Amino acid sequence: MRPDYRPDIDGLRTVSVLSVIFYHYGLGRFTGGFVGVDVFFVISGYLITSIIYREMEQDRFSILAFYDRRFRRILPATLLAIIGTGIVGYFVLLPKDFAGFGESAVYASFGFANFFFLWNTGGYFDSAADLMPLLHTWSLAVEEQFYFVWPLLLLLVFRFSSGSRTAVVATLALIIAVSLGASILIVERNQQVAFYMLHTRAWELAIGALLVFVPAIRHRLAAEALAVLGLALIAYGVFALTSRSPFPGLNALYPCVGAALLIWPTAQRTMVARALSLRPMVFIGLISFSLYLWHWPILVLYRLYGIGDMPGTYEKVALILLSILLATISLYAVENPIRRRRFGHHVTIPAGLSAAAVVAVCGYGIVAMAGIPSRLDPDVRYYASFLDFDTPNRRDPACFITSESAREGLSFESDRCLAITADKPNVLVIGDSHANHYVASLRQLYPGINFAQATASGCQPTIKPVGSKRCTNLMNDVFQKYVPGMDFDAVIVSARWNNHGIKKLRKSVKALKRHVAKVIVLGPTIEYRHELARLLAKSKMTGRDLMRESRRYEAKAKTQRAVERALSGTSATLVSVLDAVCPRKKCQVLTPEGAPLQWDYGHFTTSGATYALQKMKLPLPTTSSNLASSALH
């Protein structure tokens, strides 16, 4: 063991990795356990810089030798975890999930996972990211990018300053100031970028690096006090912060400064350092890298074997123990043997890059083969194919305005979407995505009616709506301009009704009735806690009736009753979607042709909407007011 080895740092690794694990597994009140990654960053910055600078002072630093060590330290365990995840995923993941894994594996193999998750998630705390098996590799990517840049920059500063420690410290201070400033500014504007990117995280690694150049604390009482303060700051981050806290930014100072105070060299070991140096703490610290690598995909794969629900407490403990077992095997059977073998950088680097390339090619192959659906039962493949149902070509982006429409610069085309015909009844459909999913089927079922459309995601179809501006602007125009100024024979109002919309529904219907003869309000439909397509596919794989376990009938029935009360006494016609698809509380999940009625938690497929509308028998007009007016004259 090296004479400069510090067991307390391995103990600090244990604190950081267990914080992350308990946060991910939802054990205890570790609401900010994700800050364990920030503690890792500080540790890494300190250890890597201490090695590099010592070698530079001894005039024996080699960039290639440094990369050789990094390759042997990081790649074997990382690639092993990716490969293991892929093997298990082959048997348990649906094609869409497996293809997503394959794409993330390409990026993770070469240390760019942070870019993949920046581009493909709504953020680290987004619910969709919770079921991505390689999500945690974003932090490895940040470290690897730092390892690529920092030695080169440190070498330049060292050479041009003739080894001046002051120049190195000044460089680190500048990195900390600029990167922390960027983190504080960007986290308010774009938390995803601030969370995933090196330029907003570099200051955390630089704080660790700065500790290499600070003098040791010699006063015993000061050392003890600072160690306790450091532990308290980390504990505050772990237990007080939440996924809703702006992060990183200023909130990342708690774990980073706390870790720095614990790592700060002291003339004598503190009580906290002794506690961190206990053998169980050191052991977990030694396997912490592999434990971090394994704990997340094990949890995600277990969840995706079912329908995505979090496991129970006993299952969580069992999964953590399995993670510890795999991490221990990885350390002693893979990591240590490879780290101890000195092949030389002329072997290690090409071999490492080749191994990463092979894994990346395999990942790309999974993507190219669309998740290899042929490995699954035909019925499973068929149901799972509906998970990709909501593609842009299934909706009119100019008549259904979404966040994607806004990003693409598209706006509502009133001339086309609200076109009136003189030879047919004209019916306007307004609402959110739960109105849009009926439009294609309405046109198919009622070719003798002209259906206009004004739909947008992000608010309720009521007067003075609250929500996304793209939606509220459109709904205000519907009530103030389009309906009063155009000759519609009826209006169909549909939405994923919530309390805010229901409270304004009565007044909204009365406003519509001043200008149209008939207002038809569609009630809520049945919803599931997970995508119905996934439930059907997983039910086929596991033999369980997962639809019954995930169905939210009572909640939707309660909403239905609230809509009924809101419309009581008005002349609007309420049509129960719930009764149409769930007669006598027995919910239909497939159309007569065998297609899923809904593709996600509640949106209809086209055939599902057709089936539901046939059951609803809407009281639509058979004669246009334009035609009636012409007949009178």
Q: In the chain, how many H helices and how many E strands? A: 30, 6
Contacting residues for 549 by C-beta, under 8 A, at least 6 apart: 307
Helix, strand or coil, per DSSP, at residue 545? coil
User: Concatenated DSSP letters for 319-364?
Assistant: HHHHHHHHHHHHIIIIIHHHHH----HHHHHHHHHHHHHHHHHHHH
Give CA–CA dist 455/453, Å, rounded. Answer: 6
State the maximum Cα–Cα separation within the chain, in Å, rounded to a whole number: 104
Burial of 240 (0-12, 13-18, 19+ CB in 10 A): middle
Two structure tokens written together for 320: 């953590």
**What's the CATH class of domain 386-619?**
alpha beta
Identity of residue 543: G
Q: Are strands 518-522 and 573-575 parallel, antiparallel or unpaired?
A: parallel
Q: In this predicted structure, what is the pLDDT of residue 41?
A: 97
Nearby residues of 481 by Cβ (< 8 Å), 6 or more positions away: none
Residue-level pLDDT at 156: 94
Q: Is 235 exposed, middle or buried (0-12, 13-18, 19+ CB in 10 A)?
A: middle
- pLDDT for 411: 82
Question: In the chain, what are the domain boundaries?
Answer: 7-373, 386-619
Amino acid 310: pLDDT: 92
Interaxial angle between packed helices 137-160 and 113-120, expressed in degrees from 0 to 180 and rounded to the nearest 10: 130
Q: Is 426 exposed, middle or buried (0-12, 13-18, 19+ CB in 10 A)?
A: buried
Instruction: Determine how many CB atoms are found less than 10 A away from the CB of residue 211.
Output: 21
Q: ω into residue 248 within 30 of 0, thus cis?
A: yes
What's the confidence (pLDDT) of residue 342?
75
Element (H, E) at 400: strand 400-401
Q: Which two tokens stand for residue 383?
A: 């149901």
Kindly tell me the burial class for residue 129, based on how many C-beta atoms sit within 10 Å of its own C-beta (0-12, 13-18, 19 or more). Answer: middle
Rounded-to-integer distance, Cα 118 and Cα 495, Å:
31
Residue type, 32: G
pLDDT at 632: 38
Name residue, tokens 């092949």: 343
Nearest to 534 by CA among 133, 86, 91, 95: 95
Sheet of strand 450-456: strand arrangement: 400-401, 450-456, 426-431, 490-494, 518-522, 573-575
* Sequential DSSP letters for 279-321: HHHHHHHHTHHHHHHHHHHHHHHHHHHTTSPPPPHHHHHHHHH
Q: Determine whether 15 is exposed, middle or buried from the number of CB atoms within 10 Å of its CB (0-12, 13-18, 19+).
A: buried
Distance CA 604, CA 617 (A): 17
Q: Side chain identity at 437, as an amino acid letter?
A: H
CA proximity to 125, closest of 143, 106, 138, 140: 138
Tokens describing residue 440: 């294609």
State the DSSP string of 53-69.
HHHHHTT---HHHHHHH
One-letter amino acid at 430 equals I
| 203 torsion bin: left (phi>0), alpha (psi -120 to 50), beta (else) | alpha
Ranges of residues in the chain with a pLDDT under 50 are 627-633
